[in-house]
């Protein structure tokens, strides 16, 4: 898994910050997005983030996940 990979959420993950479902539970299972970042450091220091994978779904919606919650669909290399 690396930045730019297309991923699908394979487990049930409930969030409350989806733009179309503010303050309501929303399950992300089955949604597809692109890995924007894999958090390994913060302000120049190494960190062990609980939810290290940042995925962008829509223009205004991003969420963090564990590695076992996402599956790679395709990489940027296979698209080109």
In this prediction, residue 76 has a pLDDT band, given cuts at 50, 70 and 90, of low
**Distance separating alpha carbons of residues 63 and 26, to the nearest angstrom:** 12
**Distance separating alpha carbons of residues 7 and 57, to the nearest angstrom:** 10
In this prediction, residue 16 has a pLDDT band, given cuts at 50, 70 and 90, of very high
**Distance separating alpha carbons of residues 15 and 65, to the nearest angstrom:** 11
Q: How far apart are the first and last CA of the chain?
A: 17
More confident position, 48 or 7 = 7
Q: Are 66 and 43 in contact (CB under 8 A)?
A: no
Instruction: Classify domain 6-79 by CATH number.
Output: 2.30.30.50
Say if residue 75's pLDDT is above 70. no
This prediction has a pTM of: 0.81
Domain ranges of the chain: 6-79
More confident position, 27 or 19 = 27
Q: Token pair for residue 59?
A: 């223009």
């Amino acid at each position: 898994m690396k930045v730019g990979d297309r991923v699908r959420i394979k487990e049930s993950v409930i969030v409350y910050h989806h733009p179309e479902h503010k303050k309501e539970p929303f399950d992300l299972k089955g949604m597809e997005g692109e890995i924007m970042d894999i958090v390994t450091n913060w302000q120049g220091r190494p960190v062990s983030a609980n939810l290290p994978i940042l995925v962008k779904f829509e223009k205004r919606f991003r969420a963090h996940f564990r590695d076992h919650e996402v599956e790679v669909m395709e990489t940027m290399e296979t698209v080109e």
